Amino acid sequence: MIFLKIRINIRTVQLAMASMAAALFPFYAVASTAQEQAAYSVSSSVQSLEAYEDTMPQSLPSSMEISPVKNKQGHWSLSLNLNESYLSGNDEYASETIHSRCVGYYDFRMSWQANPETTLAYDQALKRPKFMMGLLYADFDHLHIYKEDKPFESKIGQIYTAFIGMNLALVRKGRWTASAEILNGVGYCPNSYDENYNQDQELIGSPFSIFVGGGVNAAFRLSPRWSVALGIDFKHYSNATLDRPNRGVNTMGGTVSLSYDLEPQPLRHKELSDLPQADEPEPYPKNFYVEGVVGVAGKALFDRFEIYGEKHNPIYGSFTTMLSAMWRWHLVNASGVGLDYTYADYVYRIRDYDLMREKTGYKYSPHIMGLSLRHEWFYHHMSLNVGLGVYLKKQSGYTASLRESRIYQTVSLRYSIPYTHDRLFLGYTIKAHKFSRVDNAQIILGCRIN
């Protein structure tokens, strides 16, 4: 622009000189008139350019800058998942009653995930987990349930499920992501067990069931918004022994998924060295703490169902406690050992049922004790605690000797109360045997002391 201004000033001097020459030499006026018109045109164009330049911003507004990620905190995505599974089970009931084992699952879910540029410590430590919520339609119409001596067929039909879950990335490389996920929810089955018209269907014993799912998958990003995945999934439905029968549904199968990100994402994953470092200090440096838990458990007795075969069985309660020594060795990990104790006076009712069935020679005690290895994963105020234990003492009669083992498993979902600096927490626990048979469901309250 400076160069153009210099040229304009020079041209002004030339026009002044041309006017003087026209007055002295008339023949020069004709030529100078054409030059004057051209100079005026150039001057007007330059002035227009200068005025436009003054109105232009020095840089593009942030809304116009090209960026693959618009929200620095996180983004939402939608996905559709199709699954074909096989119903597992090789006990006497399954062998005699279930004649086809194909099950189909179809679910739609919404997921939230922190963006690659996140500096939140928990999201970096867990490699930006996805948090999911969705609806699942389980189709059991291809499952044929009947006994050879019965003239009719029982059925499960469909189960409608609402769930939440978490997906944890295991490996990220280029456009590929290998991950594991865990799901938890509540399912509704309109064709649960009924002693009159659906009596051979002992898998789902009540209209409402607890749903637990898990699996591993490999995802490939097709574009900044679209990705596909293949995986293997396990799904379980059970009413947590809150009614009988409660054989439960366990399936395993393959899943194909199609996902759409509401905001465009990078095609390739960045190297860890290229990602920003966390700007939060670790709220839990390495430390040792003691954890105490109290709870109330409930279950319906299989012993009673075997005698009466009725739906809507009474729920018997018990009191549970646990004392654990834990080592918080990482921001998101703690491990330790625990001593578990349960007082279950319903064992005397089991003794009465055993006498009715002429099952003798078994011991009964309301005191149940176990020793367990424990691990807990943390994410802000939420945590998932799992345990693998062995009974030190358990005397619960005939049915327990057949259906249970000396090894037990627990899974707890917990929420730590922020106002107590995460020392107090509440949640619920599922206790199981043989990694598939639920023993009871518990509501718990706990405290961490360090």
Question: Would the CA dihedral through 385, 330, 122, 264 be positive or negative?
Answer: negative
Q: Percent of the chain having pLDDT more than 90? A: 55
Model's pTM, two decimal places? 0.76
Q: Is 249 in a helix, a strand, or coil?
A: strand
Closest CA to 105 of 178, 245, 220, 213: 213
According to the model, what pLDDT value does residue 274 have? Answer: 56
Name residues whose C-beta falls within 8 Å of residue 442's C-beta, 6 or more positions apart in sequence.
295, 296, 297, 298, 320, 428, 429, 430, 431
**Residue 279, strand partner residues:** none
Mean pLDDT over 304-326 rounds to: 89
Better-predicted residue by pLDDT, 21 or 439: 439
**Would you say 245 and 305 are in contact if contact means Cβ atoms under 8 Å apart?**
yes
Task: Judge whether residue 36 has pLDDT over 80.
Answer: no
According to the model, what pLDDT value does residue 62 have? Answer: 34
Q: pLDDT digits over 334-348, tens only?
A: 999 999 999 999 999
How many degrees, rounded to 5, is the angle at CA 96 between CA 400 and CA 408? 25
**Rounded Cα–Cα distance for residues 273 and 271 (Å):** 5
pLDDT band at 413 (very low <50, low <70, confident <90, very high): very high
**How many contiguous H segments (helices) and E segments (strands) does the chain have?**
7, 16
Task: Judge whether residue 411 has pLDDT over 70.
Answer: yes
DSSP string, 58-112: SS--GGGS--S-S-SSEEEEEEEEEEEEEE---SHHHHHHB---EEEEEEEEEEE
Tokens 């860890």 correspond to: 272
pLDDT band at 354 (very low <50, low <70, confident <90, very high): very high
pLDDT band at 147 (very low <50, low <70, confident <90, very high): confident
Q: pLDDT digits over 257-310, tens only?
A: 999 999 998 888 875 555 555 554 445 578 999 999 999 999 999 888 888 887
**Would you say 237 and 207 are in contact if contact means Cβ atoms under 8 Å apart?**
no
pLDDT band at 16 (very low <50, low <70, confident <90, very high): very low
pLDDT band at 319 (very low <50, low <70, confident <90, very high): very high
According to the model, what pLDDT value does residue 2 have? Answer: 41
According to the model, what pLDDT value does residue 28 have? Answer: 37
Better-predicted residue by pLDDT, 446 or 239: 446
Mean pLDDT over 115-138 rounds to: 89
**Would you say 214 and 234 are in contact if contact means Cβ atoms under 8 Å apart?**
yes
Task: Judge whether residue 47 has pLDDT over 80.
Answer: no
Task: Judge whether residue 234 has pLDDT over 80.
Answer: yes
> Longest Cα pair distance anywhere in the chain, in angstroms?
141
**Averaged pLDDT score across all residues of the chain:** 82
Better-predicted residue by pLDDT, 434 or 30: 434
3-state helix, strand, coil in the chain (%, to 5): 20, 45, 30
pLDDT band at 131 (very low <50, low <70, confident <90, very high): very high
Q: pLDDT digits over 419-430, tens only?
A: 999 999 999 999
Highest-confidence range of 149-158, 279-288, 316-325, by mean pLDDT? 316-325
Of the candidate ranges 35-39, 99-103, 303-307, the one whose mean pLDDT is the lowest: 35-39
If residue 169 lies in a helix (H) or strand (E), which one and from where to where? Answer: strand 158-173
pLDDT band at 153 (very low <50, low <70, confident <90, very high): confident
